[in-house]
Chains A and B, each alone.
Chain A
């Protein structure tokens, strides 16, 4: 088959599935909905593998599918750029999506919206593929917003839950704040480069490196800095970087399969992908890179802290995702784009695994998500247990597992970076290692080990924090938690098989891929690093002597010790002496309250932005439109007209002698004036 047709097949196969399952969701049987969508995604995956091999053989493609719009001198096209970065993303997206599709058969088994759900996740796959395969900014923005739409639809999938429909609106609006910056960035690119085509823009970038623009006062701003920061604001929205991270924890209101697919493995990494794609631009602005670095570092550390106090199993994983996205962003800031993509890939596997395992636990627990009600599940759910352990070990960076290679490379790259903010970032990612290990194994121990706390009638329906939402009335969750004496059970094969299949790359992909991907020629000509200005990656490569050596060497280094102590401490706190964390919580209640309220970001946004916008709207409406424009000007002029006519009406009495008299006076006045003038 011609390769161009294959490129088209990759996004269109899932789109076809989505349309069949979506447009006919009320008439087709369930088996047809999941068969057609899984077939679509599987086709996309197989095609992606073929394309991957083809690109490995050196066949990079950059071409137009159709012209979307022309205006003036500008052309906007829909087209594909197929290179190693694209194929990496295509493989990750289609593979994780395929796993999630299969998993969904089990997870959504009892849900009345089964067909609709399959339609949405296939539509998501289509949108995400269009995003990563784009060869221009316009289509990137299309995909960008389209994945946002599907995310909105899926977070609000259970549309009768008040919390879900609040969360999905919040997610969309916060993302729109990011997109606001993103579109301005795109506008700057078009205005100064005259094109939105990647190739043209990147080729022209060095010429414009020294260009300054005047946007505020007398100061000249570097065009690259302003453009890159605008673009990065878009990434902050989608990839949930502080302060635009607030939507991601709430997105856990959606069904678990999409938390894995969208809010961990793929969509939230779109920002990371975008910045890597834009490396020829970002490399030209150290200021923008510093900004990226610091934002990433803040996210990596401070979101990790919040993971420690969460009791909802999905929220622990969600905060872990935020923190890991921060790591990827730090890598971008340190000009280690290939490392960021590498961590994106390993993270996609182990985090999808952890989410799907959490979902499996949730099924086993009959939709109780509170880890305080779990414990000892390893006996009842052995496959979920082992795969979760694998995922957790990969996440905390256990040597030789995938997460280790990517995370350790990030830490090393930051250590070697010298741009402003790198000192803080190094501290943040290092401290983050301990925090990650601590919260991950706190959850692991509380869920799979220790005393069995489930099946106690008194607390199965009792929740104290707003993260858990009672929804007994809704049809999909009629049984909430285990009844007294009931035991959890292992989930069906459609659920555990994806866990096993995801566990394999979670273990092995790092060892295999680090050599070529991070230090080899894999991204040559795709990712651009100005090694003169930002030499971190070059130095890092000098220290690299193969994956095995890296793993062995790590056993004596600080990150490993930190991770190990995190695990040990969590074991000690939650298995041996549960009284200690409780005591700490009492002792440092101020910090605990701060964490509990997520640093008050949500409160601030609700009061200042949401409340402020509503108040402003009321003032402008009641004050501006109703009182001033209508009250004074419109009705006022009507009143003036009425008033004048009421006076002139006095003259129009209808008596002829009044008119005659007036006329005589008028003639008299005019004559007087005329005579005086003469």
Chain B
């Protein structure tokens, strides 16, 4: 095991890099700010690679652990560690940050330093969420990571950004307060500990478990987002700049799902079993209901945002089947969704930068002018529809197959996503890409440049790699998922 505090690096390198970028100040230094941001994000990514290569796949517990006292009076610690559940998200987050910095390279000309700094700082904070083993530390990162996202939407967002930010705020505020109350309760119950791992062992009566579960669930469900607390997401995506959408879809949505695995399932196993029907039902509604809603969207970003919700429905569904296939499938789906939805939003951004419209009706026949783009967009559209050999297939396949064992009709409803998902993805693709050149905006399109090609190419490789050979991604999960499920199977009621 490495002697370097790699997890602290993963958190603080991007934050420090963000502050340095911020220090470059005005847009006169924009080229410098971009270069610094790029180097910062690459450095931050490089320090996460040893987490994967040095990961002990036989160990289901926490690795790369760091423990320092922070606020001794309340027994709050700077306690970090990753297991097979969280490690991949740290790497994914660092990877996506590079993509985001590159995605804004030419597009963002206004407040460049601040823009890049916001993303770098957010990246560090989100790594903090994925690695925190202390309840308060987690909460601080969880809440702090929202600030850069607000700013990104609020400053670089579209015309209706105030409404979007307001809606997001209203949704998350409520959940956060309940989450904090739940943390307090656990602190008192455990006799003064904020250690998440301690809480995993804490016996709790069923009634209390149910209340805590609901408190956690509201906080996490908003972030996932689960039906019916999802309506902030399409608005937030529509108003966010491309980079904001990529981070929101690829990483921010994973925070809520991650919370379910880190808090709800292991701390509250009995309540999780008790209320699994509720979560499964909401997940299936997300898959089916949201699928139909996605079908009729006229705005491409909204369509992809809704499809994100449907894909995240597979994640929560997989968790609450309590089987290795289900949980691992859900985790795979989370990673894959990071690549695919990130790429989808980038593709839409590529078109938006040229035409300044996200309406499907304003396009048609793009392939005639942008063949390279059309080919790559096809790949991601197919991945979004869950085609085998792309990463989008793996998670859905595992969750559906796991679901057949769980309950045939749950699998039946989940598998319908194969039809609906293909319908909304391909119908959008058909209307935007195929056909004759529809108007003079499309006529004037130029194909993707080298930068855009590089971004999409990297994401394409990731998508295909994970589709053709997912084993490296899942083998790191096995031990931790097995431990988790063994833990969840044991009742905590005394």
What is A's interface to B at a CB cutoff of 8 Å?
26, 66-74, 138, 141-142, 145-146, 149, 152, 156, 159-160, 162, 165-166, 169, 172-173, 176-177, 179-180, 183-184, 186-188, 190-191, 213, 215, 473, 613-614, 616-618, 620-621, 624-625, 629-630, 633-634, 637-638
User: A173: which B residues are within 8 A, CB to CB?
Assistant: 419, 422-423, 426
Chain A to chain B: the 6 pairs with minimum beta-carbon distance, closest first: A187-B404, A72-B324, A617-B296, A191-B405, A617-B292, A165-B434
A71 to B400, CA, bound (A): 14
A69-B394, A617-B296 given. 20 additional CB < 8 A pairs? A71-B329, A146-B388, A152-B426, A160-B434, A172-B422, A173-B423, A176-B418, A176-B419, A183-B400, A184-B408, A187-B400, A187-B404, A190-B404, A473-B436, A613-B420, A614-B295, A617-B295, A618-B296, A624-B289, A629-B228
Q: Does B475 contact A (CB under 8 A)?
A: yes
User: A637: which B residues are within 8 A, CB to CB?
Assistant: 170
Q: Does B397 contact A (CB under 8 A)?
A: yes
Q: Which residues, 443 to 483 on B, are CB-close (under 8 Å) to A?
A: 468-471, 474-475, 478
Question: Can you list 22 contacts pairing A with B, beta carbon distance less than 8 Å?
Answer: A68-B468, A68-B470, A68-B471, A72-B325, A145-B393, A160-B435, A165-B434, A166-B430, A172-B426, A179-B418, A184-B412, A187-B403, A190-B404, A190-B405, A213-B408, A473-B436, A614-B296, A616-B292, A617-B293, A624-B293, A625-B231, A638-B166
A613 touches B292 (CB 8 A): yes
User: Nearest Cβ distance between residue B138 and chain A, in whole angstroms?
Assistant: 27
A66 touches B469 (CB 8 A): yes
User: Nearest Cβ distance between residue A121 and chain B, in whole angstroms?
Assistant: 17
User: B403: which A residues are within 8 A, CB to CB?
Assistant: 187
Which of the four size classes fits the interface of chain B?
A: 35 or more
Q: Is the interface of A mostly helix, strand, loop or mixed?
A: helix
A70 touches B325 (CB 8 A): no
User: A620: which B residues are within 8 A, CB to CB?
Assistant: 289, 292-293
Q: Choose among A69, A74, A617, A633 the residue that contacts B471 (Cβ–Cβ < 8 A).
A: A69
A180 touches B426 (CB 8 A): no
Q: Choose among A141, A177, A191, A634 the residue that contacts B388 (Cβ–Cβ < 8 A).
A: A141
A624 to B294, CA, bound (A): 13
A184 touches B404 (CB 8 A): yes
Q: Choose among B387, B419, B468, B471 the residue that contacts A177 (Cβ–Cβ < 8 A).
A: B419
A169 touches B426 (CB 8 A): yes
User: Nearest Cβ distance between residue A324 and chain B, in whole angstroms?
Assistant: 27
Q: Does B167 contact A (CB under 8 A)?
A: yes
Residue of A nearest to B404 (CB): A187
User: Nearest Cβ distance between residue A461 and chain B, in whole angstroms?
Assistant: 19
A72 to B430, CA, bound (A): 39
User: A159: which B residues are within 8 A, CB to CB?
Assistant: 367, 433-435
Q: Does B409 contact A (CB under 8 A)?
A: yes
User: A617: which B residues are within 8 A, CB to CB?
Assistant: 292-296
A629 to B170, CA, bound (A): 13
Q: Choose among A160, A618, A638 the residue that contacts B365 (Cβ–Cβ < 8 A).
A: A160
User: Nearest Cβ distance between residue A471 and chain B, in whole angstroms?
Assistant: 10
What is B's interface to A at a CB cutoff of 8 Å?
166-167, 170-171, 228, 231, 289, 292-297, 323-325, 328-329, 365, 367-368, 371, 382, 387-389, 393-394, 397-398, 400-401, 403-405, 408-409, 411-412, 415-416, 418-420, 422-423, 426-427, 430, 433-436, 468-471, 474-475, 478
Residue of A nearest to B167 (CB): A634
A190 touches B415 (CB 8 A): no
A156 touches B434 (CB 8 A): yes
User: A186: which B residues are within 8 A, CB to CB?
Assistant: 401
A4 to B404, CA, bound (A): 35
Q: Choose among A71, A180, A630 the residue that contacts B474 (Cβ–Cβ < 8 A).
A: A71
Candidate in A141, A190, A624 with the most chain B CB atoms within 10 angstroms:
A624
A180 touches B293 (CB 8 A): no
A179 to B387, CA, bound (A): 11
B231 touches A630 (CB 8 A): yes
User: A634: which B residues are within 8 A, CB to CB?
Assistant: 167, 170-171, 231
Residue of B nearest to A72 (CB): B324
User: Nearest Cβ distance between residue B181 and chain A, in whole angstroms?
Assistant: 19
Knowing A159-B367, A160-B435, the reply to whether A638 touches B418 (Cβ < 8 A) is: no
B170 touches A190 (CB 8 A): no
A217 to B85, CA, bound (A): 38
Knowing A165-B430, A173-B426, the reply to whether A215 touches B400 (Cβ < 8 A) is: no
Residue of A nearest to B419 (CB): A176
Knowing A620-B292, A634-B170, the reply to whether A169 touches B478 (Cβ < 8 A) is: no
User: Nearest Cβ distance between residue B258 and chain A, in whole angstroms?
Assistant: 19
User: A176: which B residues are within 8 A, CB to CB?
Assistant: 418-419, 422-423
User: Nearest Cβ distance between residue B384 and chain A, in whole angstroms?
Assistant: 13
User: A70: which B residues are within 8 A, CB to CB?
Assistant: 471, 474-475, 478
A184 to B417, CA, bound (A): 12
Knowing A71-B329, A173-B422, A629-B228, the reply to whether A145 touches B387 (Cβ < 8 A) is: yes
User: Nearest Cβ distance between residue B378 and chain A, in whole angstroms?
Assistant: 8
User: A625: which B residues are within 8 A, CB to CB?
Assistant: 231, 293
A624 to B471, CA, bound (A): 40
A166 to B429, CA, bound (A): 11
Residue of A nearest to B409 (CB): A215
User: B470: which A residues are within 8 A, CB to CB?
Assistant: 68-69
B405 touches A149 (CB 8 A): no
Residue of A nearest to B472 (CB): A69
User: A68: which B residues are within 8 A, CB to CB?
Assistant: 468-471
User: Nearest Cβ distance between residue B412 and chain A, in whole angstroms?
Assistant: 7
A169 touches B411 (CB 8 A): no
Residue of A nearest to B417 (CB): A180
A620 to B423, CA, bound (A): 17
A183 touches B296 (CB 8 A): no
User: B401: which A residues are within 8 A, CB to CB?
Assistant: 183, 186-187, 190-191
User: Nearest Cβ distance between residue B423 and chain A, in whole angstroms?
Assistant: 6
A67 to B469, CA, bound (A): 8
B475 touches A613 (CB 8 A): no
Knowing A71-B474, A160-B435, A191-B405, the reply to whether A621 touches B419 (Cβ < 8 A) is: no
B430 touches A180 (CB 8 A): no
A377 to B396, CA, bound (A): 53
User: Nearest Cβ distance between residue B380 and chain A, in whole angstroms?
Assistant: 13
User: A141: which B residues are within 8 A, CB to CB?
Assistant: 388, 397
A160 touches B170 (CB 8 A): no
A526 to B327, CA, bound (A): 37
A74 to B402, CA, bound (A): 11
A165 to B426, CA, bound (A): 10
User: B422: which A residues are within 8 A, CB to CB?
Assistant: 172-173, 176
User: B427: which A residues are within 8 A, CB to CB?
Assistant: 169
A186 to B404, CA, bound (A): 9
User: B420: which A residues are within 8 A, CB to CB?
Assistant: 613
A183 touches B415 (CB 8 A): yes
User: Nearest Cβ distance between residue B374 and chain A, in whole angstroms?
Assistant: 9
User: Nearest Cβ distance between residue A231 and chain B, in whole angstroms?
Assistant: 13
Residue of A nearest to B382 (CB): A149
Residue of B nearest to A23 (CB): B375
User: Nearest Cβ distance between residue A581 and chain B, in whole angstroms?
Assistant: 38
User: Nearest Cβ distance between residue B411 and chain A, in whole angstroms?
Assistant: 6
A213 to B415, CA, bound (A): 19
Q: Choose among A26, A179, A188 the residue that contacts B404 (Cβ–Cβ < 8 A).
A: A188
User: Nearest Cβ distance between residue B426 and chain A, in whole angstroms?
Assistant: 5
A625 to B387, CA, bound (A): 28
User: A629: which B residues are within 8 A, CB to CB?
Assistant: 228, 231
User: Nearest Cβ distance between residue A568 and chain B, in whole angstroms?
Assistant: 46
Residue of A nearest to B411 (CB): A187
A215 touches B408 (CB 8 A): yes
A180 touches B469 (CB 8 A): no
User: B471: which A residues are within 8 A, CB to CB?
Assistant: 67-70
B170 touches A74 (CB 8 A): no
Residue of A nearest to B422 (CB): A176
User: Nearest Cβ distance between residue A472 and chain B, in whole angstroms?
Assistant: 13
Candidate in A141, A142, A166 with the most chain B CB atoms within 10 angstroms:
A142
User: B397: which A residues are within 8 A, CB to CB?
Assistant: 138, 141, 183
Knowing A146-B388, A621-B293, the reply to whether A180 touches B416 (Cβ < 8 A) is: yes
